[in-house]
Structure 1
Amino acid sequence: MITGRFFKSLSRGPAGDRLIPKILLAAALCAPALSHAETTQVDVYFPTTDQHQRNLLLTGTVEARQHADLAPLQDGVVAAIFAERGEQVAKGQKLLTLDSRLAELELQRVEAEVRASKVAQAEAVRRYQEVLGLSEQQLVPTTQMEERRSAVSVAEADLNRATALLALQQERLDRHTLYAPFAGVISARSINLGEWITRQSSVFTLVQQQDLRLALQVPQEYYARLVGTPDTLVTLLPETSAQQSSQVRLSQLVEVVSADSRTMTALVDLPRDAGWVPGMSARAQIALPRSELSVSWIPSSAVKAHPDGGASVFAVEQDRAKRYQVEIVERQEGRVAVMGLPADHSIVFSGIELLNDGDPVQIQHISGRTL
């Protein structure tokens, strides 16, 4: 309040005569603002409150349980190829053979050795049986009978050794042929006829077509809500017209977090004959278990973003705007879930850009839940 003494002091002299009208004009302009703030017309929303449940939408990669780069079990020259890229093969089907001529000849030599060992073993047994009958009549010395018995043991040992060599050589010969270890499709072929390949050479890539699964990278902050939770529901969202949306269960959570991406892998077994192919991208929505925290769903326009990354909303209390700091826990189209709101308060969702804490407000329209 400007007192008369103040005006009297200013009126002394020519400068005071010029200053008094300016002060009176400024006081007249400021008087309405000082007397009362302008009332803001607002629309309010009464939010719904429930336990926090979030649907985590992720994109992953369809992968086969069996995916192998096949290599031969023996070094050699490619003699024949029986599978081409893109071909479906059955388990145990022949894929290629190597030149096995030397292995076949060695097998024949060992087979001959086995036959000779069998003859030698049979002769040793015959000679032993011969002296065994004479020994009963005491016509041969005991030492001769023991020599014949030892010869039988040596012949049997030689036969066993030759038989083992035959099995070894047969295995070496068999390793000149590569067979499919499981049913699938040949996705790549990296050899041609006449090439020399080794046991380290990848010759085919075989991918299983059945028993597919979806690998999802889940952020580490959801570990506590997924670990030890059986029967977590996963909704598979179609990527092409040949697929249909379906609901399955989370098959496995790999409890190892990548140091690079800070994510862990969740595996979802895919239904058979559902149109999925290894290598496809696929979207899945994981229904996270409900938390014990309560959240309020409000319109997105009710949230005021702060430069520091925080957020707040305005509630109406006794016809004035009251600011509340909130934490956004989930976003959906047109609405957000927040924590930190008081119960049974109307939330302003229009014109919050110029609204300040304590400003008088007048409610125009009310929406949301029914009180």
Structure 2
Amino acid sequence: MTSQRGDQLRSLSIDRSEETATSGASILQVAGIAVLALIIGAGGSWWFTGRSGPAIESTPATPAQTATTTSSPATTPPAMPRASGLVASGYVVARRQATVSAEITGRIRDVFVEEGTRVEAGDILAQLDDERARLDLELLEARLSASRSRIGALTAQLEEARIVLERAQNLATRSIGSEAAVTAAQAQQASLIAQIAAARSDTVAAQVQVASQEDLIERHIVRAPFAGVVIAKNAQVGEILSPASAGGGFTRTGVATLVDMDSLEIEVDVNEGQIGRVVPGQTVEAILDAYPDWRIPARVEAIIPTADRARATIQVRVALDERDSRILPDMAARVTFLD
């Protein structure tokens, strides 16, 4: 019984000799595989280097080459003006803009312009009714003609009086005529001379009246004071035009609003604390809100020598160096002052 238990215990124990032999064999297998991999790798490297040709030997750079490479910087384009960071907003305004009216009060007979019409200086914009003024002109011209005719009649009478005076003087010299006749002839001649002088003065006055009436008729015509574009038509045919408002809703004070497009510029407000960065003649880049991708070259025209107390700003006038039909009055703009 005791021997049977001993046999069972021996069967349950682990044989250390077999484990040692197995582990030794495993180590040998791993080492063999590593050696085989090294041999295969060496052969592959020889195969590829032999097929691709001899390797190129890299030559290290000399100190002179290194210095030349590091000391010669790349060529860069000339520096462009950079934005100073000072940006101001404003609007496009016209230095020459006028609401054209007549110098007299009258009824509008014709209007010859519409919005967008381009006119030259002296072109007719509107015509007032001048029928009564022309009738008065005809009356004055008739008076002028009568005055000139009167001068002619008096001149003929003066020639006759001169002849009478000469005859009276001859008779008096020969003691045939009386001295009274000579005196009467002299008085007649002097009177005619005075009448002719008065008639000539009346003629000059009549000429002035005619010229004044002609000027009055000319004032019934509304002309463009300068070349530009009509941006507003303020009156219609049949309305009463007056240079001064009469308080009535049917009285117009202007025919049309005219803008000189060549006088367009930008007015911006600059903060008082930044005005020292702005000088006359400074380069400016303007951008219209309507065309954000269009950069318009400009320059500072003038700095208005007064400040706005409420907003603490100073107005700056910016002249546009580029003229284009897309630039219109009252457009919003943003300008950047360049260094």
Please report the TM-score for the alignment, with normalisation by the length of structure 1.
0.57
DSSP 3-state at the match of 1:250: strand
Structure 1 residue 244: deviation in Å? 4.1
Aligned partner of 1:88 in structure 2 is: 118
Distance 1:126 1:242 in 2: 84
Gap change, CA 1:183 and 1:119, over 3 Å in 2: same
Tell me which protein shows more helix as a share of its residues.
Answer: 2
Aligned partner of 1:202 in structure 2 is: 254
Aligned partner of 1:59 in structure 2 is: 89
Aligned partner of 2:334 in structure 1 is: 283
1:250–1:269 Cα contact (<8 Å) kept: yes
The percent of aligned pairs where both chains have the same amino acid is: 26
> Which of residues 125, 140, 150 in structure 1 aligns to 2:155?
125
> Which of residues 141, 151, 170 in structure 1 aligns to 2:214?
170
2:239 is the alignment partner of 1:217: no
Structure 1 residue 238: deviation in Å? 5.1
Aligned partner of 1:300 in structure 2 is: none
Aligned partner of 2:311 in structure 1 is: 261
Gap change, CA 1:243 and 1:70, over 3 Å in 2: farther
1:211–1:270 Cα contact (<8 Å) kept: no
Provide Cα deviations, 1:25-58, integer angstroms capped at 9, x if missing partner. xxxxxxxxxxxxxxxxxxxxxxxxxxxx954211
Q: Which runs of 5+ in 2 are unaligned?
A: 1-82, 171-181, 245-252
Give 1:7-18 correspondences, 5 Å limit: none
Aligned partner of 1:145 in structure 2 is: 189
Provide Cα deviations, 1:188-236, integer angstroms capped at 9, x if missing partner. 122222222322212211122222111111222344555xx54322222
Q: Figure out how many residues of one structure are paired with residues of the other and give that number.
A: 234
Provide Cα deviations, 1:300-333, integer angstroms capped at 9, x if missing partner. xxxxxxxxxxxxxxxxxxxxxxxxxxxxxxxxxx
DSSP 3-state at the match of 1:277: coil
Aligned partner of 2:60 in structure 1 is: none
Distance 1:133 1:244 in 2: 91
Aligned partner of 2:228 in structure 1 is: 184
2:288 is the alignment partner of 1:232: no
Gap change, CA 1:85 and 1:153, over 3 Å in 2: same
Aligned partner of 1:99 in structure 2 is: 129
Structure 1 residue 146: deviation in Å? 2.2
Q: Which runs of 5+ in 1 are unaligned?
A: 1-52, 289-371
User: 241-250 or 179-188: which moved more?
Assistant: 241-250
Aligned partner of 1:115 in structure 2 is: 145
Gap change, CA 1:231 and 1:272, over 3 Å in 2: closer
2:126–2:255 Cα contact (<8 Å) kept: no
Distance 2:212 2:87 in 1: 56
Q: CA RMSD in A?
A: 2.6
Displaced runs of 4 or more, over 6 A = none
Gap change, CA 1:91 and 1:247, over 3 Å in 2: same
2:297–2:320 Cα contact (<8 Å) kept: no
Gap change, CA 1:220 and 1:122, over 3 Å in 2: farther
Aligned partner of 1:154 in structure 2 is: 198
Gap change, CA 1:57 and 1:129, over 3 Å in 2: farther
2:93–2:265 Cα contact (<8 Å) kept: yes
Tell me which protein shows more strand as a share of its residues.
Answer: 1
Distance 2:334 2:286 in 1: 6
Partner amino acid, structure 2, of 1:191:
A
Give 1:28-43 correspondences, 5 Å limit: none
